[in-house]
A and B are shown apart, each in its own frame.
Chain A
């Protein structure tokens, strides 16, 4: 558990943020530029000290201005991966990786060199000089260097922002691997909602130096504060479930999320593995009667719980067998179908919709 509560003023900018994040797990600090994300990173890492604040990580007080406690950045053991990697140009990859490991000062070192080299695919890079690395390779080395310093918390500050969009997929799977295989709590700072969806469990929403909402990614996907920031076109629902059935002939997999069963296009899934899927609100249609002979593979009886008006379109909040879904439709459709809270109808979800967006796979819970 990470508890954070700090305030600080710098010229015109003032920051006043309090949140707590469960651990282990990935907490995303999400907001537009100027929201205060970078300031939060320096406060967490100890590179900056707030006028007033308290930071507690797993019961250890890292900062408490009221009682004069301020563990320095050197002793805080908060591993940082910066947007610009910040690898040391006079050292080769191996010595960059070992830099933090040589300075753990008697702390336990459960994260071994070979493990990291293996997990991040660095074996071929060890003897290289920093200037010979691509952007993605740099970030992998920076990630390995931070992890080998045996951090109590890993802080990722827009680690993909300086990498071309096409190259991000070379790095993202490594983040997923370390999230799943190491038990280090992670704070992931980003302004890219796709990355957040793919990696985070918990979301802290920031705007102009204030925390405006926080909660699990599933809850936050339904929050109006988030929709206001990412825009209606990106809104959608995160569902978590287990692979119940695989029909290789029809190339469909059935995902069980509580009482809801959803059929999605088959990717590389194993039966009984836990998956997370994202159903974009744009890909959910609403029908008053159950249609027959329709291409959508999922026709779900639902009940409307709320209408949310957002920049010219309406987000319909639906309850489907104990789970929430979002559908985005026009005002005219709302009027024509006479949609209102409490009304029962059918949600049509295309099987490819969930697959078309990102897919997350996690090892089954022990």
Chain B
């Protein structure tokens, strides 16, 4: 068991924090967008579908650059956020969470959307005839039945967020204790003379984290199957 330095522990803690914040940030939007794409036909639906999939096909550096343009201190949204709420995203942990959220968004939407598409619309119709209005129906029928997809989406998003590199380093740079997550710490170690030992330790940490994520998702999927039994 290699001994980790305080910097490495910090990178781990930061990675987990960024990933958690990223998932919390993207989940409500992802559920809303997934529901719209699965259940509604509207003008611009194809465009929306394409737009949220962009991060999958663009180089992450390009996404990071766009974020910088929009959410940078001089960007339209960034300036407004700073003025109204004193919220600065560039060079901050919050910014790192935003960058990873945007990158993992299509993965979450995809998992949740598949799950919603698998729900028999007849169940929602039955709920209507039993007196459940739209929001009531969503929370009592649609959302619980989407739970397997939401769990899958959360795990995928969390794992992807732990590993996001390009968009993070472009948008919020590589600041120890603020935005230096595990992949960024690994990159730094590789760039440092005599950093080989550190690089191996960080890589090992990443592998264990990934493995734990996979095992957890497998276990969750199994318990969900038990519960809903198909």
Q: Spell out A's residues near B (CB within 8 Å).
A: 45-47, 72-80, 82, 84, 86, 88-90, 99-100, 103-105, 129, 131, 145-146, 149
Contacts of A76 in B (CB 8 A): 129
- Contact at A88–B129, with CB atoms within 8 Å? no
- Contact at B126–A80, with CB atoms within 8 Å? yes
Bound-state CA distance A75–B125 (Å) is 13
- Contact at A104–B131, with CB atoms within 8 Å? yes
> What residue in chain B is nearest A77 (Cβ atoms)?
B131
Which of B122, B131, B145, B228 contacts A103, CB < 8 Å? B131
Contacts of B144 in A (CB 8 A): 90
Q: Is B20 an interface residue (CB 8 A)?
A: no
- Contact at A47–B128, with CB atoms within 8 Å? yes
Closest 7 CB pairs of A and B: A103-B131, A100-B130, A86-B126, A73-B128, A131-B229, A80-B129, A90-B144
**Chain B 143-163, CB within 8 Å of chain A: the 1/0 string?**
011010000000000000000
Question: Contacts A80-B126, A86-B120 given: A129-B131 contact, CB under 8 Å?
Answer: no
Most central of A75, A77, A89, A129 by chain B CB within 10 Å:
A89
- Contact at A86–B131, with CB atoms within 8 Å? no
Which of A45, A84, A105, A129 contacts B129, CB < 8 Å? A45
| A-contacting residues, B29-86, CB 8 Å | none
Q: Is B127 an interface residue (CB 8 A)?
A: yes
- Contact at B145–A89, with CB atoms within 8 Å? yes
> What residue in chain B is nearest A132 (Cβ atoms)?
B229
* Between-chain CB contacts (< 8 Å), 15 pairs: A45-B129, A46-B128, A74-B132, A84-B122, A86-B122, A89-B145, A100-B131, A103-B130, A103-B132, A105-B131, A129-B229, A131-B229, A145-B130, A146-B129, A146-B130
A38 → chain B, closest Cβ, in Å? 12
Q: Is B136 an interface residue (CB 8 A)?
A: yes
B interface secondary structure, majority: helix
A251 → chain B, closest Cβ, in Å? 47
| A-contacting residues, B178-192, CB 8 Å | none
- Contact at A82–B133, with CB atoms within 8 Å? no
- Contact at B133–A74, with CB atoms within 8 Å? yes
- Contact at B131–A89, with CB atoms within 8 Å? no
Using A89-B123, A99-B130, A103-B130 as known contacts, list a sample of 17 further A-B pairs with CB atoms less than 8 Å apart, ordered by residue number in A: A46-B129, A74-B128, A74-B131, A74-B133, A77-B131, A79-B129, A80-B129, A82-B122, A84-B122, A88-B141, A89-B229, A90-B147, A99-B127, A103-B131, A131-B230, A146-B129, A149-B130
- Contact at B229–A73, with CB atoms within 8 Å? no
Contacts of B147 in A (CB 8 A): 90
> What residue in chain B is nearest A151 (Cβ atoms)?
B129
| A-contacting residues, B112-130, CB 8 Å | 120, 122-123, 125-130
Bound-state CA distance A73–B126 (Å) is 10
A172 → chain B, closest Cβ, in Å? 22
Contacts of B123 in A (CB 8 A): 86, 88-89
Contacts of B120 in A (CB 8 A): 86
> What residue in chain B is nearest A102 (Cβ atoms)?
B131
A106 → chain B, closest Cβ, in Å? 11
Bound-state CA distance A74–B140 (Å) is 14
**Chain B 208-230, CB within 8 Å of chain A: the 1/0 string?**
00000000000000000001111
- Contact at B126–A149, with CB atoms within 8 Å? no
- Contact at A89–B136, with CB atoms within 8 Å? no
Contacts of A146 in B (CB 8 A): 129-130
- Contact at A47–B131, with CB atoms within 8 Å? no
- Contact at A90–B130, with CB atoms within 8 Å? no
Bound-state CA distance A46–B122 (Å) is 14
Contacts of A88 in B (CB 8 A): 123, 126-127, 141
Contacts of A80 in B (CB 8 A): 126, 129
> What residue in chain B is nearest A85 (Cβ atoms)?
B126
Which of A82, A131, A149 contacts B131, CB < 8 Å? A149
Bound-state CA distance A90–B131 (Å) is 18
> What residue in chain A is nearest B131 (Cβ atoms)?
A103
A156 → chain B, closest Cβ, in Å? 12
Contacts of A129 in B (CB 8 A): 229
Bound-state CA distance A99–B129 (Å) is 11
Bound-state CA distance A105–B130 (Å) is 11
> What residue in chain A is nearest B126 (Cβ atoms)?
A86
- Contact at A90–B129, with CB atoms within 8 Å? no
Contacts of A46 in B (CB 8 A): 128-129
B136 → chain A, closest Cβ, in Å? 7
> What residue in chain A is nearest B137 (Cβ atoms)?
A74
Contacts of A99 in B (CB 8 A): 127, 130, 132, 140
- Contact at B228–A90, with CB atoms within 8 Å? yes
- Contact at B122–A78, with CB atoms within 8 Å? no
- Contact at B130–A47, with CB atoms within 8 Å? no
